[in-house]
Amino acid sequence: MNRVVHPIEEESYRRLRARLDTSHFPPLTRAVVERVIHSAADLDYATDLVMAEANLQKAHAALHAGAPVVVDVEMVGAGITRRETVCRLKDAVAGAGLTRSAHAIRLAHEQVGPGALWVIGNAPTALEELLTLDADPALVIGLPVGFVGAVESKAALRESGLPAVSNISEKGGSAVAAAALNALLYHPTSAEEKL
C-alpha cells in the first residue's frame, strides 16, 4: 500500500521516538505501539498494550489478503483509512439482557463468518458478546474504553487465548482501536518491502 506521509506526521513520530525508545519492540508490535501512542498522545500505552508479534504477523497477512474488518461503532470505521469495514450497529436492537452493541456483533458475525479482524473501541459489551461466539478471528483488537466493564472485558479477551491486541487499563476508545488496525494496514507486506 503506497501511502504518502505528511510532514506533520513525520515530525510527530520523530518527537515520539525522541521521548520513548521503541526500538526494542518487534516490527509489527512497534508499529501498533507507536500508532496508538501517536493517536492518543499518551506514552503510557507503551507499557499498557498487550499483544504477541506472531499473532500480529498472521493478522497482517490476513488483512492484506482481504479478510473482512468488523468494527463495533461507526467512529472506529471512520478512523480506519483505505479499507471498507462492517458495522451493524444501525441494524441492531437492544433486548432483555442484550445491549444494542452486543446484538450488532451477533449480526456482524452472521455476515462475515470466520477469519475476520474485529476492532472494538467503544463498547465492552460488544467485546463480551464476541467472546461468546465461535468467531475464529484473525485478530481481535479489543480496546473498549470506560470505567464499567472495559478492564474486565479486555482481561477476558486475554484469557480467551484468541489472537488479540488489548490493554490493561480503562483507557481505549475509537481512535486508538482504529490506530491499531491502521498500523497493520500501513505496515508493508514482504512484497512491498522488496520494491
Which amino acids are annotated catalytic?
38
Contact between 185 and 80 (Cβ < 8 Å): yes
Q: Rounded to the nearest 5°, which phi and psi values hold at 19?
A: -95, -20
Following DSSP, what letter does each residue of 112-145 receive, concatenated? H-TT-EEEE-S-HHHHHHHHHS----SEEEE---
The residues, ordered by sequence, that sit 6+ positions from 122 with a Cβ below 8 Å of its Cβ are 72, 73, 75, 76, 101, 144, 145, 173, 174, 177
Number of Cβ within a 10 Å radius of residue 23: 7
Number of Cβ within a 10 Å radius of residue 71: 30
- Inter-CA distances, 190 with 30, 149, 194, Å: 17, 39, 7
